[in-house]
Amino acid sequence: MAAPSLTKGDTIENLIEIKGARHAYQTASGPLPVLDGLDIAVPAGTFAAVVGPSGCGKSTLTKLVAGLMKPDEGEVWLHGERVTGPRKTVGMAFQNPVLLEWRTILDNVILPLEIVAPRMPTKDRVARAMELLDMVGLTGFESKRPSELSGGMRQRASLCRSIVHKPDVLILDEPFGALDAFTREDLWQTMRDLRAAEPFTAVLITHDLRESVFLGDQVIVLSGRPARTQYVMDVDLPADRTLDALFTPKAADMLHILRDQIKIAQGRDVEGHV
Partner 1 sequence: MLRKISTPVIAILIFLALWELLVWANGWPNYKMASPSDLPSAFWKYKELFFVMGWQTLWRTIVGLFLAVIVGTLIGMIIGFSKLARDALYPLLIGFNAIPKATLVPVISLIFIGQHDFNTILMAFMISFFPIAVSVGIGLSTLEPEYRDILRALGASRFTIFRKIALPKTLPEFFGALKVSATLAFIGTNLVEIVSPHGRGLGALFKSGETNGNYPLMFAVLIALAFLGIILYYAVIFLERVFAGWADREGS
Ligand X SMILES: Nc1ncnc2c1ncn2[C@@H]1O[C@H](COP(=O)(O)OP(=O)(O)O)[C@@H](O)[C@H]1O
96 binds Mg ion per the rule CB under 5 A: no
Question: 141 touches which of ligand X, Mg ion, partner 1, none (CB within 5 to 8 A by kind)?
Answer: none
Residue 68 to residues 61, 76, 92, 210, 217: CA-CA distances in angstroms? 10, 12, 11, 29, 25
- Chosen from Mg ion, partner 1, ligand X, none, partner binding at 96 (C-beta under 5 to 8 Å by type): partner 1
> Which residue type does 21 have?
A
The Cα 106–Cα 138 span in angstroms is: 10
Is position 91 an interface residue for ligand X (rule: CB under 6 A)? no
Residue 226 C-beta: closest distance to ligand X, Å: 9
Q: Name which of 32 and 126 has its Cβ closer to Mg ion.
A: 32
Choose which of 56, 66, 215, 251 interacts with partner 1 (CB under 8 A).
66
| DSSP annotation string for 30-52 | EEEEEEEEEEEEEETT-EEEEE-
| Residues whose CB falls within 8 Å of the CB of residue 242, separated by 6 or more in sequence, listed in order | none
Using CB under 8 A, pick the residue from 58, 154, 156, 165 that binds partner 1. 165
| Binder among 35, 90, 203, 215 for partner 1 (CB under 8 A) | 90
- How far apart CA 30 and CA 62 sit, in angstroms, is 23
Residue closer to partner 1, measured from CB, 71 or 91? 91
Among the residue ranges 43-51, 82-90, 174-182, 201-209, the one whose residues contact partner 1 (CB under 8 A): 82-90
Name every residue whose Cβ is closer than 8 Å to that of residue 251 and which is 6 or more positions away in sequence.
213, 237, 245
Look at residue 132 and give the partner it binds from ligand X, Mg ion, partner 1, none, a contact being a CB closer than 5 to 8 Å depending on partner kind.
none
Judged by phi (left if over 0) then psi (alpha if -120 to 50, else beta), residue 73 lies in beta
Rounded to whole angstroms, the Cα distance separating 154 from 97 reads: 6
Question: Which residues are near partner 1 by CB under 8 A?
Answer: 63, 66-68, 85-88, 90-92, 94, 96, 98, 100-102, 111-112, 114-116, 145, 147-148, 161-162, 165, 171
